């Protein structure tokens, strides 16, 4: 990443997390010594205090990135995001965070960092590609090893559980990199579910994957209705180039969807089933209104009869709203 930072003015009406983000960007060891340090402090003590203060700002930085990090139409916000990433990717700060985590220290907000780091790496790769396109004779090197290790440390417990459950190391790391905590599904949910499924479909080409046994480590059951809705809305046309192994996996995911919905019915949670087709039909209708509807994963009107509770809910919805017929 280029090293130039922009100036960001502070507004007294700005929420506190915004001010902390500005401080995160603008703080330097020199400013730390002047404003918070003592004359007798050694250079090492100043840097430790400086990095500790930066680490304290991480929750506010994450709040900002989740709120504004994908607003690409605003060059001002993108400049600020770039400056945040400059600080987060500073080699000495990354090493400080790694050491703190290895020593058992809790870095508040660290459960989100794997996703932030992935985005940082992607942006750095894009900058590298752009720079090399402008200067064909120039070789731009990237060393992301420390950032990758930090990401692994932040998700260490989850990765350990997935390994114990038999999930392949590479698949596990790629999944926790896009969704290290299910809390991220409160932000850009469709985008994040899409990232998860892209990874799983890619790996299904070369390995056997038990979808249910894998996804439970990435997405909590409370989010299964949203996940199933997303899966049922996937367009068939997007998977025409799948090989036989991927198609077999694709079908197993469909079966997981209906089995999970049926399990809701067996426990009396009929509303959990109902919210899925309701959201499905709402999206199909909206797409039709914009002339962009298409065939999806499975014709819901052809769900096998053994899924008794699911079919019961669909029959109820059909009786209530005949307009859904064309989407079955």
Give 158-196 pLDDT, tens digit per residue: 999 999 999 999 999 999 999 999 999 998 899 999 999
* Predicted local distance difference test score (pLDDT) of residue 70: 77
Residue 236 lies in a domain: no
Question: Buried (b) or exposed (e) across 39-67, using 16+ Cβ within 10 A?
Answer: eeeeeeebbebbbebbbebbbbbbbbbbe
Residue 14 lies in a domain: yes
Residue 316 makes CB contacts below 8 A (sequence gap 6+) with: 274
pLDDT-derived band of residue 11, with 50, 70 and 90 as boundaries?
Answer: very low
Q: How many CA atoms lie within 13 A of 174 on its CB side?
A: 15
Residue 302 lies in a domain: no
Residue 264 lies in a domain: no
Residue 309 lies in a domain: no
Is 73 a residue whose pLDDT tops 70? no
Is 72 a residue whose pLDDT tops 70? no
Residue 74 lies in a domain: yes
Torsion of CA 156, 157, 163, 169, to 10 degrees: -20
Structural domain containing residue 66: 1-154
In three-state secondary structure terms, 235 is strand
Residue 290 lies in a domain: no
Q: What is the pTM of this model?
A: 0.86
* Predicted local distance difference test score (pLDDT) of residue 295: 92
Residue 207 lies in a domain: no
Number of domains in the chain: 1
């Amino acid at each position: 990443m280029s090293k130039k930072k922009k100036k960001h003015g502070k507004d007294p009406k700005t929420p506190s997390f915004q001010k902390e983000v500005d401080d995160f960007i603008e703080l330097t060891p020199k400013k730390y010594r002047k404003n918070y340090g003592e004359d007798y402090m050694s250079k090492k003590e100043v840097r430790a205090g400086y990095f500790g203060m930066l680490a304290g700002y991480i929750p506010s930085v994450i709040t900002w990135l989740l709120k504004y990090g994908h607003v690409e139409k605003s060059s001002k916000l993108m400049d600020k995001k770039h400056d945040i990433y400059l600080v987060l990717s500073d080699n000495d700060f990354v090493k400080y965070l790694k050491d703190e985590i290895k020593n058992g220290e809790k870095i508040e907000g660290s459960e989100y960092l794997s996703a932030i780091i992935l985005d940082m790496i992607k942006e750095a790769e894009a900058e590298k590609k752009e720079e090399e396109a402008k200067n064909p004779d120039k070789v731009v090197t990237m060393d992301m090893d420390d950032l990758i290790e930090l990401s692994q440390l932040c998700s260490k417990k989850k990765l350990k559980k997935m390994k114990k459950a038999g999930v392949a190391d590479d698949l596990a790391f790629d999944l926790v990199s896009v969704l290290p905590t299910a809390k991220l599904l409160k932000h850009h949910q469709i985008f994040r579910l899409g990232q998860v499924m892209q990874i799983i479909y890619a790996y299904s080409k070369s390995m056997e994957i038990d979808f249910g046994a894998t996804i439970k480590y990435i997405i909590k059951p409370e989010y299964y209705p949203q996940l199933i809705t997303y899966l049922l809305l996937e367009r068939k046309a997007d998977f025409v180039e799948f090989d036989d192994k991927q198609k077999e996996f694709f079908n197993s995911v469909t079966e997981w969807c209906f089995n999970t919905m049926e399990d809701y019915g067996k426990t009396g949670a009929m509303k959990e089933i109902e919210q899925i087709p309701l959201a499905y039909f709402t999206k199909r209708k909206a797409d039709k209104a914009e002339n962009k509807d298409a065939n999806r994963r499975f014709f819901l009107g052809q769900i096998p009869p053994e899924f008794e509770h699911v079919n019961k809910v669909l029959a109820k919805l059909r009786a209530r709203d005949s307009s859904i017929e064309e989407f079955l």
